[in-house]
Amino acid sequence: MEIYGKTVEELFVNAAFAIGDLMTDLQNVEVTKVRRIVAEGTDWEDLLVNYLREVLYLFNGEGLLLGDYAIIEVDPWHVVGEARGEPFDPNRHRINTEIKAVTYHQALVRETEAGWIGRVVFDV
Amino acid sequence: MSEIKLEKIDEYRWMIPPVGGMRVPGIIYSSEELIREMGTDESPKQVANVAHLPGIVKYSLAMPDMHWGYGFPIGGVAAFDMDRGVISPGGVGYDINCGCRLMTTRLSLDDIRDCLQYLVVALFRDIPTGVGSKGVLKLSVKEEKKVLEKGAKWAVDQGYGTPDDLEATEDRGRMEGADPEQVSTKALERGREQLGTLGSGNHFLEIEVVEEIFDEAVAAAFGLEKDQIAILIHSGSRGLGYQICDDYLAKMVKHVGELGLSLPDRQLACAYLSSDQGKSYLSAMACAANYAWANRQMLMHWTRETFARVLHKSPREIGMRLLYDVCHNIAKIETFTVDERQVKLCVHRKGATRAFPPGHPSLPGRYLKVGQPVLIPGDMGTGSYVLVGTEKAMKDTFGSTCHGAGRVMSRNQATRVSSGRSIAKEMAAKGIIVMATGKGTLREEIPEAYKNLDQVVQVVHEAGISKKVARLRSLGCIKG
Nearest CA in chain B to A45: B266
Nearest CA in chain B to A100: B242
Strands (E), B228-318: 228-235, 271-272
**CA B450, CA B274: separation in Å to the nearest integer?**
38
AA letter at A123: D
- Residue B241 resides in a domain: yes
Closest Cβ opposite residue B94 in set A61, A104, A123: A123
Report the complex ipTM.
0.89
- Would the CB atoms of A88 and B242 count as touching at under 8 Å? no
Closest Cβ opposite residue A61 in set B70, B190, B257: B190
- Would the CB atoms of A104 and B267 count as touching at under 8 Å? yes
Instruction: Give the three-state DSSP class for B444.
Output: helix
Instruction: Give the three-state DSSP class for B117.
Output: helix
Query: What residues in chain B have their Cβ under 8 A from chain A's Cβ atoms?
Result: 70-71, 94, 131-132, 186, 189-190, 200-201, 239, 242-243, 245-246, 249-250, 253-254, 257, 265-267, 269, 411-412, 438, 440
Size of interface A-B (CB pairs under 8 A): 64
- Would the CB atoms of A98 and B243 count as touching at under 8 Å? no
Q: Which residues pair with B450 in a beta bridge?
A: B407
Cβ proximity of A53 and A47 under 8 Å: no
- How many domains are there within chain B? 1
**CA A84, CA A37: separation in Å to the nearest integer?**
11
Identify the pLDDT of residue B337: 96
Report the candidate in B295, B154, B171 with the shortest Cα–Cα distance to residue B233: B295
Identify the pLDDT of residue B132: 64
Closest Cβ opposite residue A124 in set B242, B265, B411: B411
- Would the CB atoms of B189 and A107 count as touching at under 8 Å? no
**CA A123, CA B13: separation in Å to the nearest integer?**
30
DSSP letters spanning A9-77:
HHHHHHHHHHHHHHHS-GGG----EEEEEEEE-SSHHHHHHHHHHHHHHHHHTT-EEEEEEEEEEEETT
- Would the CB atoms of A107 and B190 count as touching at under 8 Å? no
Min Cα separation B61/chain A (Å): 21
Residue A91 has pLDDT above 90, yes or no: no
Min Cα separation A51/chain B (Å): 11
Cβ proximity of B374 and B466 under 8 Å: yes
**Which chain B residues contact residue A100 at CB under 8 A?**
94, 201, 242
Instruction: Provide the pairing of β-strand B56-67 with B26-29.
Output: parallel
Closest Cβ opposite residue A100 in set B242, B257, B440: B242
- Would the CB atoms of A60 and B242 count as touching at under 8 Å? yes
Which of A104, A109, A121 has the highest number of chain B CBs within 10 A, making it the mutation to test binding with B? A104
Nearest CA in chain A to B258: A42
More confident call, A23 vs B64: B64
Report the candidate in B88, B37, B55, B56 with the shortest Cα–Cα distance to residue B16: B56
Q: Which residues pair with B433 in a beta bridge?
A: B476
**CA B229, CA B186: separation in Å to the nearest integer?**
40
Identify the pLDDT of residue B379: 87
Mean of pLDDT values over A66-71:
93
Instruction: Give the three-state DSSP class for B447.
Output: helix
A63 touches chain B (CB under 8 A): yes
In which region does residue B469 sit, left (phi positive, over 0), alpha (psi from -120 to 50) or beta (all else)?
Answer: alpha
Report the candidate in B300, B393, B323, B382 with the shortest Cα–Cα distance to residue B352: B393
Report CA-CA distances (Å) from B205 to A44, B116, B225, B376.
Answer: 42, 14, 20, 14
- Please say if B403 is a catalytic residue: yes
The total number of residues written for chain A in this structure: 124
**CA B427, CA B461: separation in Å to the nearest integer?**
28
Report CA-CA distances (Å) from B350 to B92, B115, B248, B353, B401.
Answer: 5, 38, 16, 8, 11
- What is the rounded end-to-end Cα distance, in angstroms, of chain B? 33
Residue B409 sits at φ, ψ, to 5 deg, of -120, 145
Report CA-CA distances (Å) from B307 to B243, B311, B391.
Answer: 34, 6, 38
Taking 70 as the pLDDT cut, the residues of chain B under it are: 1-2, 131-132
**CA B110, CA B451: separation in Å to the nearest integer?**
31
**CA B184, CA B170: separation in Å to the nearest integer?**
26
- Would the CB atoms of A101 and B440 count as touching at under 8 Å? no
- Would the CB atoms of A103 and B189 count as touching at under 8 Å? no
- Residue B1 resides in a domain: no
Identify the pLDDT of residue B1: 43
**CA B169, CA B388: separation in Å to the nearest integer?**
15
Nearest CA in chain A to B192: A61
**CA B77, CA B47: separation in Å to the nearest integer?**
9
From the CB of residue B428, how many other CB atoms can be counted at a distance below 10 Å?
A: 12
- Residue B213 resides in a domain: yes
Instruction: Give the three-state DSSP class for B198.
Output: coil
A93 touches chain B (CB under 8 A): no
Cβ proximity of A4 and A116 under 8 Å: yes
Instruction: Provide the pairing of β-strand B204-213 with B228-235.
Output: antiparallel
The total number of residues written for chain B in this structure: 480
* The CATH classification of domain A2-123, taken from the options 1.40.20.10, 3.55.10.10, 3.50.50.60, 2.40.110.10: 3.55.10.10
Instruction: Give the three-state DSSP class for A82.
Output: strand
The kind and range of the H/E element at B11 are none
Residue A60 sits at φ, ψ, to 5 deg, of -65, -35
**Which chain A residues contact residue B200 at CB under 8 A?**
98
- Residue B288 resides in a domain: yes
Min Cα separation A42/chain B (Å): 7
Model confidence, pTM: 0.95
Domain of B146: which CATH number? 3.90.1860.10
Which of B246, B270, B410 has the highest number of chain A CBs within 10 A, making it the mutation to test binding with A? B246
Residue B93 belongs to what domain range?
A: 7-479
- Residue B397 resides in a domain: yes
**Which chain B residues contact residue A124 at CB under 8 A?**
411-412
- Would the CB atoms of B267 and A105 count as touching at under 8 Å? yes
From the CB of residue A68, how many other CB atoms can be counted at a distance below 10 Å?
A: 16
